[in-house]
Amino acid sequence: MIQVAAYPAREPAPETAEIDADTLAACRAGDPEAMTAFVRRYERSVFAFLSRALGHGPHVEDLAQEVFLRALRALARFDAAGSARASTWLLTIASRLVIDERRKRRVPTEPLDEGLAAQTTTTPETEQRRGEVGRALSRAAGELPDDQRDVFLLTEFHGLDASDIASMLSIPKATVKTRLFRAREHLRVLLKGILEET
Amino acid sequence: MSRWDEWKAQVPANDFAARTVTAALRERGSKRRLDARRWAGLAAAAAGAVMVAGVAWGSWAQLRGMSTQAAPPAPTTTAAPRSAQLDPRLLTGQEAAKEAALAAVAAEQRRVQDIRTRLQPARRVAPAARPDAGYNPISPHCDCMPGDPLCSCLGAPGPGP
């Protein structure tokens, strides 16, 4: 996964580990420490999905907060012992919010914000090259249709399989596979030069 | 590291979790207050409903008792009114009115029965009608003179004057 230099304040928990049942129970009871631990555990994943799906900006933080508020509100109904993982559940909430947000207003997808672009110009040559690749990837993904981009993001960046995504987006599994195939084809064409160089 | 990882994601601010939890706790507090207010309203509504139901049930029971008492007795009875059998001091106003109505009905039934009884014998003594009842015979008028040789109404002609 992405190692983000701009977020070194604390050691992030391993992305694969789900939060434990005791912490979830304490969250349900309204324990502030447990709730903080819950948010900290999943905030990076939610921010990553939202910012890649809708572009960088202050709206990402607003939407991320809405995701966590909804999750904490509905935590009593979440079955920690069931098959659903908390990360998948949160991404389901996030993906529905993304769909709602797109319906409400057309969100312009920004390839990268100015801050990130400025950071890359001052790095050594390899870092600069990586920054260029990242911008090209972001730009190419921004050209994908929304439905293809969501499936691509959830598969490529969050490690979800077609079944999970199908249930998250309430679409057939075959549709997930089709969208993923088309997204990859589209990106392959758009990034032909970049991928050959790397 | 995947090549896609070059696509940087936006990272949360350091105080994002704290702000989110504060907002969640504030929301829970306001929801709890709202819930308490809602429960109080529901309890008041339930108490009101119970009172209304009690009043309605009482009224219904009273009306049902009245309708059961006011049901007419067997219609062919000609016994003396119950008011004659019961101590009037024990009767309430409604029962007295009911007894009076029953007495009036019984008196009317007796009067009708008397009229029928009076009419029945007259019908029995009436004579049986004869076969020629209502037939008025016409007797022939005779203008013959005694000894008239052409007279046929007085029998055989006489020897004549």
Q: Are residues A91 and A126 in the same domain?
A: no
Residues 6+ apart with CB under 8 A from A28: A75, A76
Q: Are A163 and A173 a contacting pair, CB within 8 Å?
A: yes
Look up the CATH number of the domain holding residue A42: 1.10.1740.10
Mutate one of A42, A46, A56, A65 to test the B interface: name it (highest B CB count within 10 A): A65
Domain that holds residue A170: 122-198
This model of the complex carries an ipTM of 0.71
Residue A117 lies in a domain: no
Q: Which residue of A has its CA nearest to B13?
A: A7
Q: Which of B10, B21, B23 sits opposite A60 (nearest CB)?
A: B10
Residues 6+ apart with CB under 8 A from A24: A34, A38, A75, A78, A80, A86
A30 to chain B nearest CA, in Å? Answer: 7
Over residues B58-85, mean pLDDT: 66
Single out the residue in A110, A132, A161 at which a domain terminates.
Answer: A110
B26 to chain A nearest CA, in Å? Answer: 11
Helical ranges in chain B per DSSP H: 16-69, 82-85, 93-125
Q: Which of A32, A43, A112 sits opposite B16 (nearest CB)?
A: A43
Single out the residue in A69, A85, A110 at which a domain terminates.
Answer: A110
- pLDDT bracket for residue B33 (50, 70, 90): confident
Q: Are residues A64 and A87 in the same domain?
A: yes
A61/B16 CB distance under 8 A = yes
Over residues A62-71, the pLDDT tens digits come to: 999 999 999 9
pLDDT of residue A6: 37
Over residues A41-68, mean pLDDT: 92
Q: Which of A43, A51, A65 sits opposite B23 (nearest CB)?
A: A65
Q: What whole-number percentage of chain A has pLDDT above 90?
A: 33
Residue A116 lies in a domain: no
Over residues A134-163, the pLDDT tens digits come to: 788 888 888 889 889 999 999 988 889 899
Among A35-39, A48-52, A101-105, whose mean pLDDT is lowest? A101-105
Q: Are residues A104 and A126 in the same domain?
A: no
SS3 (DSSP) at A129: helix
Q: Are residues A23 and A92 in the same domain?
A: yes
Q: Cβ atoms within 10 A of the Cβ of B90, count?
A: 7
CB-based burial, B105-114: b 16+ in 10 Å, e otherwise: ebeeeeeeee
Q: Are residues A100 and A183 in the same domain?
A: no
Q: Are residues A101 and A176 in the same domain?
A: no
Over residues B140-149, the pLDDT tens digits come to: 677 777 777 7
Number of domains in chain A: 2
Token readout for B149 is 């040789």
Q: Are residues A98 and A130 in the same domain?
A: no
Q: Which of B8, B21, B25 sits opposite A112 (nearest CB)?
A: B8
Mutate one of A72, A110, A114, A153 to test the B interface: name it (highest B CB count within 10 A): A72
Q: Are residues A2 and A65 in the same domain?
A: yes
Question: Chain B residues with CB-CB distance to A under 8 A?
Answer: 2-14, 16-21, 23-25, 27-28
Q: Are residues A95 and A132 in the same domain?
A: no
Among A27-36, A135-144, B43-52, B102-111, whose mean pLDDT is lowest? A135-144
CA quadruple A95, A101, A103, A106: dihedral sign: negative
Look up the CATH number of the domain holding residue A128: 1.10.10.10
Q: A109 CB near a chain B CB, below 8 Å?
A: no
Type of residue found at A188: R
Single out the residue in A53, A81, A110 at which a domain terminates.
Answer: A110
Q: Are residues A92 and A62 in the same domain?
A: yes
Q: Are residues A132 and A195 in the same domain?
A: yes
Q: Which residue of B has its CA nearest to A60?
A: B10
pLDDT of residue B156: 53
pTM of the model: 0.55
Q: Are residues A28 and A101 in the same domain?
A: yes
Q: What whole-number percentage of chain A has pLDDT above 70?
A: 78
Q: Are A88 and A160 a contacting pair, CB within 8 Å?
A: yes
Of A74, A25, A68, the C-alpha closest to A44 is: A68
CB-based burial, A160-183: b 16+ in 10 Å, e otherwise: bebebbbebbeeeeeebeebbebb
Residue A28 lies in a domain: yes
Tokens 């549709």 found at? A175
Residue A24 lies in a domain: yes
pLDDT of residue A139: 83
A2/B23 CB distance under 8 A = no
pLDDT of residue A168: 87
State the DSSP H helix or E strand holding residue A189, giving kind and residue range, or none if neither.
helix A173-190
